[in-house]
Amino acid sequence: MKHYGIVVSMCSQMELLGVSHNAYSLNILINCCCKLGRIDFGFSVLGKMLKLGVQPDVVTFSTLLNGLRNQNKIFEAVSIFDEMTERGYQPHLIAYSTILKGLCKTGNTDRAVRFLRPMESRGSEPNIVAYNTILDCLCKKGLLKEALDLFSK
């Protein structure tokens, strides 16, 4: 059951009762905001986290990235991803895959291929899903030579 609105309401009630939040509960709240299509509220919760001194984690950012991708705001997601890495957060494969899927979905195949390259230098080895996402995108655009080049690496 997907009762995201109830979760948002319960979080408000928790605050009224003096129950303090942690990264886990706020990440759930961010996810609910994103699922409700209110990515703006998700970013407000991120601001609240910082104000409360609760340290966001990779899950926080990955959830926001996915929310942006689902609203076809992929370039905002790329910007957040870059900011995340600049602040020292080590993105995991889910964050990379979210960006790759979004870039491919919006027809930014070249950028997706370029995005794949730094994964290794950042300590994340692309998995079969990441490669399949890009190979599928290249093939659908008729870029078979590029797909074969990537496949052979």
CATH of the domain at 142: 1.25.40.10
Whole-number pLDDT of residue 29: 92
Based on the fold, state whether residues 21 and 76 are members of the same structural domain.
Answer: no
Percent of the chain surpassing pLDDT 70? 97
Is the pLDDT confidence value at 1 over 70?
no
Count the domains in the chain: 2
Give the N- to C-terminal CA distance of the chain in Å, as an integer.
Answer: 43
Based on the fold, state whether residues 43 and 75 are members of the same structural domain.
Answer: no
Based on the fold, state whether residues 71 and 121 are members of the same structural domain.
Answer: yes
Based on the fold, state whether residues 48 and 69 are members of the same structural domain.
Answer: no
| Owning domain of residue 6 | 1-56
DSSP codes of every residue in 49-89: HHHHTPPP-HHHHHHHHHHHHHTT-HHHHHHHHHHHHHTT-
Based on the fold, state whether residues 32 and 66 are members of the same structural domain.
Answer: no
pTM value?
0.84
Distance of CA 6 to the CA centre of its chain: 24
Q: 41, 56, 71: which is the final residue of a domain? A: 56
Residue 99 and residue 133: Cα distance in Å, rounded?
A: 11
Based on the fold, state whether residues 145 and 86 are members of the same structural domain.
Answer: yes
Contact 130, 119 (CB under 8 A): yes
Whole-number pLDDT of residue 99: 93
Is the pLDDT confidence value at 38 over 70?
yes
Based on the fold, state whether residues 78 and 27 are members of the same structural domain.
Answer: no
Based on the fold, state whether residues 33 and 74 are members of the same structural domain.
Answer: no
Residue 146 and residue 153: Cα distance in Å, rounded?
A: 11
Based on the fold, state whether residues 119 and 150 are members of the same structural domain.
Answer: yes
**Residues 48-58: b if buried by 16+ CB within 10 A, e if exposed:** ebeeeebebee
